[in-house]
Amino acid sequence: MAEASTSDRPRGGRLPRSARRTQLLGAALDVFVERGYHAASMDDIADEAGVSKPVLYQHFPSKLELYLALLDSSVDTIVAGVDDALAATEDNKARMQATVDVLYSYVSTSEAAFRLVFESDLTSDPGVRARIDRMTSETARAVATVIRGDTGLSTVASELLAVSLVGMAQIGARYWLDNARTLSKDEAVDLVSRLGWRGISGIPLTDDASS
């Protein structure tokens, strides 16, 4: 028997509001990644979710608001992961590896969401740009706090180093996703974190600098 199409699914069955929102976000993610923001429509998303358009509009009044909600969710996950990685240990070498691992793990387990953040075709929209920038700025700010505490560098210098490290991890993760998957995630994380650590460990710690 042929599999039922999305449009044949029962539509609009009652779910708790939070569960319905999660369902709609999942459907929207699939559609946006497959078609891009501009080619996707609210009809497509409603069909993918198996709901009527009025149900979709009850939760998200516009396609842009739905897209921004997806970005917020992805950015929040990445930022929280970096915060947890930095808080899990006081060993800075381990922190470096754990921070890099956050991005590579997100790539390997949530590829569609990662592409939505880093390969958006809507970066000219101020709301979209602000969310992508927030991911970089908040993760870099957390890393900069550790760098500043250890080295005694100024806030500006610490943030410059942090943005550079975060940027290296982001670009490396994107490259690995598209070109280097013959390397395992753990191999990629080890290579990139060792590169970052060799650089940042060359800056004297506060105690060393004052001795």
Sequential pLDDT tens for the chain (211 residues): 333 334 444 444 577 888 999 999 999 999 998 888 889 999 999 999 999 999 999 999 999 999 999 999 999 999 999 999 999 999 999 999 999 999 999 988 888 888 887 877 787 889 989 998 999 999 999 999 999 988 889 999 999 999 999 999 999 998 998 887 789 999 999 999 999 998 888 886 655 443 3
Amino acid (one-letter) located at 19: A
Distance between CA 136 and CA 187 in Å, rounded?
Answer: 24
pTM: 0.80
- Residue 98's pLDDT is 94
Length of the chain: 211
Residues contacting residue 207 through CB under 8 Å, at least 6 positions apart: none
Answer left, alpha or beta for residue 36, where phi above 0 means left and psi between -120 and 50 means alpha.
Answer: left
CA distances from 94 to 27, 32, 84, 193 (A): 37, 36, 12, 9
| Structural contact between residues 140 and 79, judged by C-beta atoms closer than 8 angstroms | no
